[in-house]
Amino acid sequence: MQKLILLFISIIYSFISIGQNKKQQLETLTARYDSLTTVLATERTTSARSINELTASVEQLTKQLESLTADIARLNADKRANQLKLNNATEQLALLTAQLMLKNDTISQLKAPPSLKRKTLTNLIGAHPLKAISASSGANTLLDFYQQNGKWVADGSSIHQAQREGFDIELIQDDYDKLSSYKLIVQEDLTLVLMCKQQTYVTIPYNDKGMLYDLQQVSEHALLPPNLSANTVFDGQYLYLFASDQLSEKTASELTVNEMFIGNAAYLRYDTKEKTFELFFFNGDPTSFVFK
């Protein structure tokens, strides 16, 4: 009986001990939960503060980026404007350099003994009116414009049934106006100017060492003197002054008399024997304008 009582007491004591342990464990878990709650609250507060700080930083960086983008656009615009100014200045410098070289060359030429070309043109200073025009049209037609008793007239001829037959050409008032106003002027500085109806169509600056040469698309069949180049001065009895195939269509059209087609290519030379200037158009109906 006594053993039973002791066993019972022992069992009761065990239950009491187990209850106390459970209580302690519950208190420990509660304390841990409270601690975790505090930590989570602290971390949430810290995260919210960090997010606000980062958001403000992002907004500031965005404003800086927009400002830098605007600065870059302004600088690029300034760069383009400065590049345009630089290009214009470079072109002006090249133009002024070319003019300076030309002036220096002219000074050197004036200081040197006059060349045969300078002597020749110096003696020709003044206006040289048109005296005659001869042209070929088509396969066998010849046209001539000349003065008769102080008045411009024109006639032509063509082959018909193996015979060359002549015919008259009727001139209109515009033809008379052009023919009577054509002139080649040698200026005091030896620049040559071709004028018609008070308009300047060709200007040829003086070059002691050559001619004004601008032939770019010359056909092998072109009616040109052989060995013509920018350095050509005298060739036999002729003084060569100008050669170009870059005359504008407007110039060619306005220089045309009657129904001839003179094209956009020509050369000018002075015949030292005949004492005449010849302006020869070779890219179209071969046409010779003679000035004296």
pLDDT in 10s for each residue of the chain, 292 residues: 666 666 666 666 665 666 666 667 777 777 776 677 776 777 777 777 878 877 887 888 888 888 888 888 888 888 888 888 888 878 888 877 787 777 776 676 566 688 999 999 999 999 999 999 999 887 789 999 999 999 999 999 998 877 888 899 999 999 999 999 999 999 999 999 999 999 999 999 999 999 999 998 777 667 788 889 999 999 999 999 999 999 998 998 899 998 787 888 999 999 999 999 999 998 778 899 999 9
What pLDDT score was predicted for residue 221? 66
Q: Which two tokens mark 181?
A: 């106003």
What pLDDT score was predicted for residue 104? 74
Say how many CA atoms lie within 13 Å of 238 toward its Cβ: 15
- 283-288-290 Cα angle (round to 5): 150
| Inter-residue contact 150 to 142 (CB < 8 Å) | no
Distance CA 290, CA 283 (A): 18
Other C-beta atoms lying within 10 Å of the C-beta of residue 200: 10
Total-model pTM? 0.62
Q: What length does the chain have?
A: 292
What pLDDT score was predicted for residue 112? 65
Distance CA 108, CA 113 (A): 10
Which of 173-179's residues contact partners 24+ apart within 8 Å by CB, and which partners? 175/257, 175/258, 176/152, 178/255, 178/257, 179/130, 179/133, 179/145, 179/152, 179/257
Residues 6+ apart with CB under 8 A from 178: 196, 197, 255, 257
| Inter-residue contact 277 to 131 (CB < 8 Å) | no
Q: Which two tokens mark 110?
A: 């004036």
What pLDDT score was predicted for residue 99? 78
Residue 147 per-residue DSSP state: E
Residue 197 per-residue DSSP state: T
What pLDDT score was predicted for residue 273? 97
